[in-house]
Structure formats: C-alpha cells, structure tokens
Structure 1
Amino acid sequence: MPAGLVALALGGFGIGLTEFVIAGLLPQVGRSLSVSEAAAGWLISGYALTVAVGAIAMTAATAGLPRKPVLTGLVVLFVLGNLLSALAPNYQVMLLGRIVAALCHGSFFGIGSLVARRLVAPERASRAVAVMFAGLTVANVLGVPFGALVGDKWGWRATFWAITGIGVLAVAAIAVLVPAWAGTIPADPGSTARGSVRTQLRAMHSRQVWLTLAATALGYGGMFGAFSYLAYTFTEVTGFSNRDVAWLLVVYGTGLVLGNLLGGRGADRNRDATLLLSLAALTVTLAMFGLLAAGPTASVILVFFTGVFGFAPVPGMITRVTDHAHGVPLAASANVSASNVGNALGAWLGGLAIGAGLGYTAPLYVGAAIVASGLLTMAFTARDASRRNPDRIVAEQRTDC
C-alpha cells in the first residue's frame, strides 16, 4: 500500500473524529457552556450544513491550484478549527470552531480521492478511494466511545486537544508521504481538471454526473435516515438498555469499515453492478430490520449489514461521478455534498414518520423506501450510460484523475 494513502487515511480519521465525537460530548459541552440541548445540537447540525456548502465553496476557491498544497492547507484549517473548539471560552467560539473545521471536510475527501487515484494503477482506483475513506469509517467506530472516554476522564476539551494533535500528525504525514507528482494537476492542456471554476462547471453538465449525485443522495440518505433514530429503535422496540446502544453502534461502525473495503474492491471489478447490488441489499436489509426489530439477535445482525451495505456504494459513486465529469475536483466534492443533503433529507423524513405516530421502526421503512428510489435512479443511470456509450468502461479508466 502506498504510504501516501496511509497519510490520506490519517487525515480522514481525524476529520471523521471531529464529525462523530461530539455526539458523546453534547451533555458535557452544553453544561460547560451553559446552553440548552437545542443550542448544543447545532454543534452537530451546523457542522453538517457547513460540510454540504463548504465542499463546493472550498473546492471552487482552490480550482487550478496544485492539489497537495491544497490538501495540506485544508488539514491546517481542520487543526485551527479544533484548536478553537478546545480553547472556546463560550458557545459562540465553540460553534465557530466547528464551522471552521467543517469547511475542510468535503473538499478534503473530494480532492483527496483524486490524489488517491493517482497513487495506484487505474484498475485499483476505487480501492484507493476506499483506503482513504477507511480513516472516516474507523472514526465512526471509535469516535463516540473515544470522545466519551477521554471526556469523562479529562473533560471534553481534552478530546478536542487530542484531535488537534492527530491533525498536526496528518499535516506532517501528507507533507512528507504524499509524492509531489500525485498532487499536481494533469499536464494535458485539454483536461478539464486544469480548468477554471466555469470550465469545471461545464464538465459537470453531463446527465450522468447529476444522476449519480442523485443516486448518492438517495442511497446514503436512506441509510442515514434510519441510522439517526437507531437508538430509539434499540431501546423502545428491541428492549436494549441505553448502555447497550454504544456497543451496538460499534457493531454498525464495524460494518461500515468492511462495506467500504468490499465496495472499493467490487467497484474496481464491475462498478455499476456493485452499486446496484449494494443498494438492493441495503433496501432489503432496512425493510427486514423494520420487520424484525423486536428481536435482539436479528437487530444485531441487521445493524451490522446496514453498515456494510450502507457504505459499500461510496467508493464506486465517487469514482463514477469524477469519471463522468472528466476528473474535475468539483465533482468529487459535490458527491460529498450530495451525501450530506441526503443525510438531512433522510433524518427529516424519519422524524416526520415518528411524529406522525408510526412508531420507532418507521424510519427503517422510510429509509428502505428512500434507498429503493436511489436503486431505481442508479438502474436508470447505468442503463442510460450503456445506451449512450457502450464503450464508456474504457473511457472510465482515466489516468489523469
């Protein structure tokens, strides 16, 4: 495995911790900064909204610049955001720190995925993206328990100091281990990857790009909509205690790690087939989860497979959207934004279902329906691509991404 991929995974791990760790610290942070639960919740939702907007804005602002220095600068921004959070004297500064840290999130994974692809042979592109995202999925497993453990022993500020330290290590690792040539923009003067924001936007006019982004939003959004209310499902339907929820989420996170790696490997062999199979399996898993949620054993098994099939499409979706956009960074970052838009949609619809009195299994069925719509979108997208250009698979193996 190229050392540069390890450096990118370390950066992804730190950014993932920043996103997930706050969930286990909200009560401490709220009491310390004297704010309500609703205000404390904005430390999560504000981060997510900033990721959705910042992914596009930061990528556009750095269009045409060499990618390695941009990646390094993004992680420096991440360090500054977490440093603000660690030092925050009040809620306003804490929220600002979360926003600053979130600005780098989408662009790091978008631009980093293009750099990761250049570190390996074209036929291993999706696996390279999966390795980079492994840091994010591992952070999902460790984030909440890590934050709770460190916060309980040394206070919530110590958690953000630890993440700041991880960020400093990531900056050094990317600067030293990512080769300069991997972070340069392709020299081909005809490549849209070199172009201005306007040129990159033109490259995204492809119907395939927008259909893939829609499938990403629906597939990931359906999974996240179900995930958002899993704690209620486990405690109110299955009968687990609140203490059990932590290890059940670790089971889910372990599924994310495995799904990410399997999805990257499968996408390198047959990308569209892997995406269709993953979305179909996720639809069935969520529906079965809703039916069998009252059973503890079934719930543990199904939450694991929710993680596996929920993250398996991610590497393939990213390589697909960037291939059809001719390798422009804006497309990769737009994919991250689409995921976050889907997250917000899924969580909102799941909450509406509970509010309508449909019970705590309702988000699972809502998630299955959203993912099913993503599956139909992906099926149409794959068919449209094959009808327009049966030889597209050759074009997708680009080396200038």
Structure 2
Amino acid sequence: MTDSSHEDRPQQSESAWSAVVSLALGVFSLVMSEFLPASLLTPMAHSLQVSEGQAGQAVTVTALVALVAGLLVTSATRGLDRRYVLQAFSIILIAANLIVYFSPGLGWLLFGRVLLGVALGGFWALSVATAMRLVREQDVPRALSLIFTGVPIATISAAALGSFLGDMLGWRNVFLIATGLAVMTLVVQVLTLPSMPPQRPTPLRTLVDVLARPGIGMGIFAAMLVFCGHFAFFTYVRPFLEQISGAGIQSISTTLLAFGLANFTGTLLAGRWLEHHLRLTLLTMPLTMGIIAWLLVTLGGFSLWTDALMITLWGLAFGAVPVAWSTWLTRVVADEAESAGGLLGASIQLSIAAGAAVGGVLFDAQGVLGTFAFSGTLLLLVAFLIATRVRTQPVPPVGHTDGIHP
C-alpha cells in the first residue's frame, strides 16, 4: 500500500476555506471556555461557596484531561468519519458549558470541566490532520494560521469580556453566552465540514511508532520547551509590570491588550512566512523571545514604555510558534498527522502546567526577575537545540527509507 499522506488532499481548486473557518470557530469556542474561569474566579468561588483555590481547579482539571484525551482520541475514534468526531466535540462543549451554568456545587462544576477537557484535547489532536485534508498542500501553513487565530482572540475575549460581562450579567450567564457560541460553531461545522472517513486504522501503539522515528521525539521535546519557556514568562507578566515597571492597572490592561493584538497579528502573518521559511521560523521565534526576556531582566524598569514594547514584541513572536510547530508536524510526519498531533497537543498541555509551576517556584524564591531569567535561558537553549538537532524534512517510519508502506 502506498503512503497515505497525500490521500484525500483537495484538487488544485478545492481548498475548503469555509470548513477551515469552522475549525477556527471551534478553536475560539474551546479556548475561550477553557480560560473563562480565570476571569470569573472570585464570583464563581463566592457563588459555589468554595475557596478561589478550589475554583481555580476548574482550569487545572481541564488541562489534565485534555492532555490524556489528546493522546487517546485518534485510536478511540479510528473507525469514525472525522466530520462527525469534530461535531461531537462541539456537542460535548455545549454540554460542558451548560453543566457549568447549572452547577449547584464544585463537583458538578468540575464534571463540566472534565467534559470540556475531552473536547479540547480531542479537537487539538485532530485539527492539524483535518486542515491537511481540507486544503491543498501548499495552503496548509495559511490554513493553520487561520485556525490558530482563534487562540489569541479567545484569550483576549476570556480575559476582557469575561470579567466585564461577569460583573454585568453574572458568571453563569457568561457560560450561557459561551454555550451560544458553541452552538453557532456546531451549526457552521454541520454546514461546511465535508465527509472525511478515517484514512487507515491508528491503534494506540502508533503513538510509540511515531516517537520512534528519527528526530520526532527531539522535535516534540523542543516544542514542549518553547511553550514551557513562554508560559513561565507570560504567567508572571502582570507581577513584572507591577513590581519592576511600576505600572498601574490601566497601563497593565493596555499592555496586555497590545500583547494580545500582537499575538493575533503574528499568528495571522505566520502562514505565508512558513510556506518558505519553516526552519528559520522555528529557530528565530524562541531566539527572539529569549533575548527579550533577558533584556527585561537587565533593563526592565528603566521605562514603562520600553517594557511594554518588549512584551508586545514577545506577543508578536509567540504568535507564530503554534503555527510553526503544527506546520513542522505536517512536513515531517504527514502520514501520521493525527497521532503526531495528539502527541504535540499533549506536550503543549504539559508545558502549560510545567512552565507555570516552575515559574511559580522561582518567583517565590527569586522574584519575577528570576522567573524571567529562567524563561530567557530556556528559550535560548532550545533555539540552539532546534538549530542543531531538529529535523524539518519528512521522516519515514522506522525500517522504511522511502516513505512507502509495504
């Protein structure tokens, strides 16, 4: 049987951009729902009569379940049409938000967030492989950049609109609005997603087989380190602005908004750049972010304007990172993009937790500058790792040198 990496690719004029937009809506709905509790923590805790720390587990449990779901979804749904699997995740998202809306206590709240983790991890695992089947091969980077624009838009919406609407309408109604967005996403997916039968069986051992390919494990590890360095930095941006830059709440809000807009711009622009400069992008983004972190460590506090500018530039650089690593995946493991996507998604979820946790330990021990120094050092080291060890050419299965399956 021949390599299936190009099976089901659209013909020259058949890139299904409306279906790609439906995936972007899915990303937006899922990521916004994931981070809403961060902006609604205090009213949620008071309403449910629990501590803010307990309510905060609504984010933690979602990330942990998403990690596991991302690894298992490919093999668990290996006989199902991908159109229906993606639509099922939107239905699960709707159910999850409704359970949170009606939750009488912490237990029901966490159950709803567990369901969200299933939808989130599963959707991320399939999104890259789905994009490969919806557009022409040369359009994949642009399709991924469009899909990933849902992330910064959702992050900004969860932080800004979440807190504003929560104060005006109550936190439960914010989740009801999120449910409405999920319903809209489902409708668009039903109208636009074409039939996508599974290309071939993907048993659970495929995860191990993919990692066994030369350079794949190193690439996944490098991606995880980049995301870890980012979240160690971004989690503690506000304390840096407060303690080092001397910023007030208005300046902090303006800087974070600028960061989000720059992040959106970087994501949107990454598609065309990655069509011809994949390795350069993989290398340049963490290198730039590492330099910015060390500039803030050494020069931070000299001027609020320059601090805000460097944080905004970080957002621009990081905007290209998720698109770049997803594009890398489509180049090096095109024939097993679903399994590789699950591995990449799980590594990112793990890096979110690890980056925030290690950054927190360093923050308590050495302050925010210690956390930023760790982030900058890690990113500079991973840039060297990418330059010397990460492959960007297709990697055939172990035992095959021509990409042809027997």
- Corresponding residue number in structure 1 for 2:287: 280
Aligned amino acid, residue 389 of structure 2: T
Distance in 1, Cα, partners of 2:35 & 2:210: 33
- Corresponding residue number in structure 1 for 2:24: 9
Q: Does the C-alpha gap of structure 1 residues 254 and 118 become closer, same or farther in structure 2, counting only changes over 3 Å?
A: same
Give unpaired runs (5+ residues) of structure 2. Answer: 1-15, 397-401
Deviating more after overlay: 207-216 vs 80-89 = 207-216
Q: Of the candidates 245, 251, 267, which is equivalent to residue 260 of structure 1?
A: 267
Q: Secondary structure at the match of 2:368?
A: coil
Give the 5 Å matches for 1:110-259.
110-180=125-195, 183-186=196-199, 194-199=201-206, 201-259=208-266
- Corresponding residue number in structure 2 for 1:308: 316
Contact 1:63 1:197 in 2 (8 A): no
Contact 1:203 1:328 in 2 (8 A): no
Q: Secondary structure at the match of 2:249?
A: coil
Give unpaired runs (5+ residues) of structure 1. Answer: 187-192, 390-394
Distance in 2, Cα, partners of 1:385 & 1:319: 10
Q: Secondary structure at the match of 1:207?
A: coil
TM-score by length of 2: 0.88
Contact 1:54 1:106 in 2 (8 A): yes
Give the 5 Å matches for 1:247-396.
247-294=254-301, 295-325=303-333, 326-356=335-365, 358-382=366-390
The alpha-carbon deviation at position 200 of structure 1 amounts to 5.1
Q: Of the candidates 82, 96, 99, which is equivalent to residue 84 of structure 1?
A: 99
Cα deviation, 1:309-346, whole Å, max 9, x if unaligned, reads 12312112113224433233121121111112112222
Contact 1:271 1:316 in 2 (8 A): yes
Cα deviation, 1:34-59, whole Å, max 9, x if unaligned, reads 11122122112222222222211233
Q: Does the C-alpha gap of structure 1 residues 250 and 387 become closer, same or farther in structure 2, counting only changes over 3 Å?
A: closer
Distance in 2, Cα, partners of 1:298 & 1:124: 37
User: Within the alignment, does 1:109 sit opposite 2:116 as a pair?
Assistant: no
Contact 1:137 1:256 in 2 (8 A): yes
Aligned amino acid, residue 347 of structure 2: A
Deviating more after overlay: 311-320 vs 128-137 = 311-320
Aligned amino acid, residue 352 of structure 1: V
Contact 1:86 1:157 in 2 (8 A): yes
Identity in percent: 24
Deviating more after overlay: 37-46 vs 227-236 = 37-46
Cα deviation, 1:5-38, whole Å, max 9, x if unaligned, reads 1111111111111122221100110111111122
Contact 1:55 1:334 in 2 (8 A): yes
Distance in 2, Cα, partners of 1:247 & 1:24: 16
Give the 5 Å matches for 1:64-79.
64-79=79-94
Q: Does the C-alpha gap of structure 1 residues 378 and 157 become closer, same or farther in structure 2, counting only changes over 3 Å?
A: same
Report how many residues are paired.
382
The structure 1 segments of at least 4 consecutive aligned residues displaced by more than 6 Å after TM superposition are 386-389
CA RMSD of aligned residues (A): 2.2
Distance in 2, Cα, partners of 1:97 & 1:388: 39
Cα deviation, 1:191-214, whole Å, max 9, x if unaligned, reads xx5433334542342132211111
Aligned amino acid, residue 340 of structure 1: Q
Aligned amino acid, residue 148 of structure 2: F
The alpha-carbon deviation at position 4 of structure 1 amounts to 0.8
Q: Does the C-alpha gap of structure 1 residues 385 and 26 become closer, same or farther in structure 2, counting only changes over 3 Å?
A: closer
The alpha-carbon deviation at position 386 of structure 1 amounts to 6.6
Contact 1:208 1:385 in 2 (8 A): no
User: Within the alignment, does 1:55 sit opposite 2:62 as a pair?
Assistant: no
